A and B are shown apart, each in its own frame.
Chain A
Amino acid sequence: NAGVTQTPKFQVLKTGQSMTLQCAQDMNHNSMYWYRQDPGMGLRLIYYSASEGTTDKGEVPNGYNVSRLNKREFSLRLESAAPSQTSVYFCASSARGGTGATSYNSPLHFGNGTRLTVT
């Protein structure tokens, strides 16, 4: 089972360049998430999507945009990259959410991450 697949695995950008991180899940999950991981700060939520067609800001949304293309895919876009966006980015999905009952017990399933360096 593929689970959550992220591309690319590594990326180097120059300040001001743009790029899109791709994420797809094959578990029929309602909810999808983008986190960034920085040393000593754990994971911080950038954006999430509780269901197809909806997106919401997390803790650190500035400088990012997202698109929930369909139930499987959730992309993260950096329009004008900055050195402060150097980080490891993780996509995740869970069975939680949707327009009906929620399931707060549902764990997150993570991709293997994208290591982004902005010079």
Chain B
Amino acid sequence: GDSVTQMEGPVTLSEEAFLTINCTYTATGYPSLFWYVQYPGEGLQLLLKATKADDKGSNKGFEATYRKETTSFHLEKGSVQVSDSAVYFCALSQNDMRFGAGTRLTVKP
């Protein structure tokens, strides 16, 4: 069945460092891909999405490109801030929404 694999955390970075969180997927068709973010004590919020191959989703300085040839949707940000500390989930949607295990990011001043 469909599944998502994302890099294990936790990830700890200094402020202004470059961020990459890897995500790969397995699906039989052409899913839509998403990144969600979860702040402490809250539910998940949509961060960005891409609906077809080579699409780039972007929001709040975060970007991810839908790469069908490598079945990947890696999340990147050029300069992280303390306020970016959260848990990030990669997800795919086809018949239903499937999530990765989540990657906890901590950004230190």
Interface set of A (CB-CB < 8 Å, partner B): 4, 33, 35, 40-45, 48, 58, 90, 92, 94, 96, 104-113
Contact = CB atoms under 8 A, between A and B. Distances in A.
Contacts of A58: 96
B96 A48 contact: yes
Interface in B63-89: 89
Contacts, number: 56
B43 interface: yes
B100 A42 contact: yes
Interface string B34-58: 1010000111111001010000000
Contact of A108 (B42, B94, B97): B97
A44 B97 CA distance: 9
Given A42-B102, A94-B97, 6 more contacts: A40-B101, A43-B44, A43-B99, A104-B93, A108-B46, A113-B42
Contacts of A113: 41-43
Interface of B: 4, 31-32, 34, 36, 41-46, 49, 51, 89, 93-94, 96-102
A95 to B, nearest CB: 12
A112 B40 CA distance: 10
B interface, over-half SS:
strand
Given A105-B49, A107-B49, A33 B97 contact: yes
A110 B41 CA distance: 12
Contacts of B43: 4, 90, 92, 110-113
Nearest to B50: A105
Contact of B94 (A4, A45, A104): A104
A35 B36 CA distance: 14
Contacts of A96: 93
A112 B42 contact: yes
Nearest to A40: B101
Given A4-B43, A42-B89, A45-B97, A107 B102 contact: no
The listed residue with most A CB atoms (<10 A of its CB), out of B41, B51, B97, is B97
Contacts of B31: 104
